[in-house]
Amino acid sequence: MNHRVSNLNNHFSASRPPLFTLKTFVPFDFDRCGDLKGKTVFITGASRGIGLEIAKRCARDGANIAIAAKTITEHPKLPGTIYSAAKEIEALGGKCLPLQCDIRDD
């Protein structure tokens, strides 16, 4: 095994305490990234939650958005699908391409 992978595995093992902690959260500054009008953004997990909110913000700035998520049918406990998210995004002025896929590596 590669020594870097071994070190990484050792770092994340349950028997060792973490070497660092995140003390401050710095939110993404959309104002510093420039104009998104006409640019294309690929967002995973955008059928609900943080991914959807990021996609909606990009839509307000005029971006073309490709959303990738697993959910294509309504879940009884979790609202939202890639198609309902696409409608919300397009209602805010963005163009949206919903892509059903599972990017997990099980």
pLDDT tens digit string along 49-66? 888 998 998 898 888 999
* pTM, to two decimals: 0.65
pLDDT over 90 (residue 91): yes
Q: Into which CATH architecture does domain 3-100 fall?
A: 3-Layer(aba) Sandwich (3.40)
Share the mean pLDDT of the chain.
Answer: 77
How far is the CA of 37 from the CAs of 57, 59, 76, 101, in angstroms?
Answer: 12, 9, 36, 26
Mean pLDDT throughout 43-51? 87
- How would residue 69 be classed by pLDDT, with cut points 50, 70 and 90? confident
